[in-house]
């Protein structure tokens, strides 16, 4: 187990989450892809159950998996719904292949934003998957806007991991704003979503304009 995993396991997560990761998910994970063996609720329930708590339902196990997702130890498909059974599905352990020297480089030093900054490519893809960012492409203009914003705040110093994390979250926010812009239209003083298959014809426009308060 590498330093990145050990650091993540020291976060305030439950004993059950640590047991699930160390004794079930990690030993059976693929060395290269980080993909786990298919989830088997019965086997996990037997592993986690103790005299105080019996794990007999999938939602109990999913709650523990959610802890690991929040701790960054597990990544799930953005379409996966942890309120439903994930029996026989595979998870991904994104920290499994991070080398110890890579971990130290990402976490042990803080830096200010600078003109030549770029996000860590591997980390970017992993974090994007974890937060459900589907459109992962970006260009130098996107990076330039990020650099410009943070160079205006020279007192801000973060680790390379945190800088890439902030960039990922910025890209997700931008994607969400873009989706809202493309799925709504303004008519008069009203913004109408086009998601619900609302068709606004010229007659509707005339009615809105007719009853719009005159300036």
Quick one: 26 and 74 in the same domain?
yes
- pLDDT at 187 exceeding the cut of 50: no
Pick the closest to residue 162 from 116, 122, 124, 115 (CA basis): 124
In angstroms, the CA 11 to CA 9 distance is: 5
- pLDDT at 185 exceeding the cut of 80: no
Going along the chain, which residue ranges are E strands?
111-112, 157-158, 184-187, 190-193
Residue 198 vs residues 156, 164, 202: alpha-carbon distances, Å: 45, 39, 13
The answer to whether residue 204 sits within a structural domain is: no
How many domains does one find in the chain?
Answer: 2
Confidence of residue 198 (pLDDT cuts 50, 70, 90): very low
Per the CB < 8 A criterion, the answer to whether 11 and 76 are in contact is: no
- pLDDT at 159 exceeding the cut of 80: yes
- pLDDT at 152 exceeding the cut of 80: yes
Per the CB < 8 A criterion, the answer to whether 182 and 145 are in contact is: no
- pLDDT at 189 exceeding the cut of 80: no
Quick one: 45 and 87 in the same domain?
yes
- pLDDT at 136 exceeding the cut of 60: yes
Quick one: 57 and 13 in the same domain?
yes
The answer to whether residue 192 sits within a structural domain is: no
Over residues 25-44, the mean pLDDT reads 92
Quick one: 122 and 165 in the same domain?
yes
Quick one: 130 and 164 in the same domain?
yes
The answer to whether residue 81 sits within a structural domain is: yes
- DSSP assignment of 101-137 equals HHHHHHHS--EE--TT----HHHHHHHHHHHT-----
Instruction: Please report how many Cα atoms fall inside a 13 Å half-sphere around the Cα of residue 182, on the Cβ side.
Output: 6
Q: Which domain holds residue 18?
A: 1-98
Q: What percent of the chain has pLDDT over 90?
A: 44
The answer to whether residue 202 sits within a structural domain is: no
Per the CB < 8 A criterion, the answer to whether 92 and 21 are in contact is: no
pLDDT at 141 (0 to 100): 94
Average pLDDT, the chain: 83
Q: CATH number for the domain including 123?
A: 1.10.8.1180
Confidence of residue 212 (pLDDT cuts 50, 70, 90): low
The answer to whether residue 17 sits within a structural domain is: yes
- pLDDT at 204 exceeding the cut of 70: no
Quick one: 8 and 94 in the same domain?
yes
The answer to whether residue 163 sits within a structural domain is: yes
The answer to whether residue 77 sits within a structural domain is: yes
Quick one: 36 and 85 in the same domain?
yes
Quick one: 93 and 118 in the same domain?
no
- pLDDT at 192 exceeding the cut of 70: no
Task: Give the tens place of pLDDT for each residue, 161-179.
Answer: 899 989 998 998 888 776 6
Domain end, chosen from 98, 122, 151, is at: 98
């Amino acid at each position: 187990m590498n330093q990145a995993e050990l650091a993540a396991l020291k976060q305030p997560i439950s004993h059950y989450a640590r047991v699930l990761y160390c004794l079930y998910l990690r030993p059976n994970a693929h060395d290269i892809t980080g993909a786990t063996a298919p989830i088997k609720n019965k086997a996990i329930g037997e592993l986690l159950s103790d005299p105080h708590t019996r794990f007999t339902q999938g939602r109990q196990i999913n709650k523990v998996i959610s802890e690991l997702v929040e701790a960054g130890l597990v990544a799930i498909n953005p379409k996966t719904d942890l309120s439903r059974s994930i029996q026989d599905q595979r998870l991904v352990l994104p920290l499994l292949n991070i080398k110890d020297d890579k971990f130290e480089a990402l976490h042990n030093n803080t830096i200010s934003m600078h003109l030549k900054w770029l996000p860590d490519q591997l980390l970017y893809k992993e974090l994007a998957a974890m937060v459900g960012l589907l459109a992962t492409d970006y260009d130098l203009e996107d990076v330039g806007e990020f650099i410009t914003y943070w160079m205006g705040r020279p007192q801000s110093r973060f680790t390379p991991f945190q800088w890439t994390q902030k960039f990922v979250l910025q890209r997700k926010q931008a994607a969400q704003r873009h989706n809202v812009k493309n799925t709504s239209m303004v008519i008069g003083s009203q913004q109408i979503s086009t998601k619900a298959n609302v068709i606004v014809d010229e007659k509707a426009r005339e009615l809105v304009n007719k009853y719009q308060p005159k300036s």
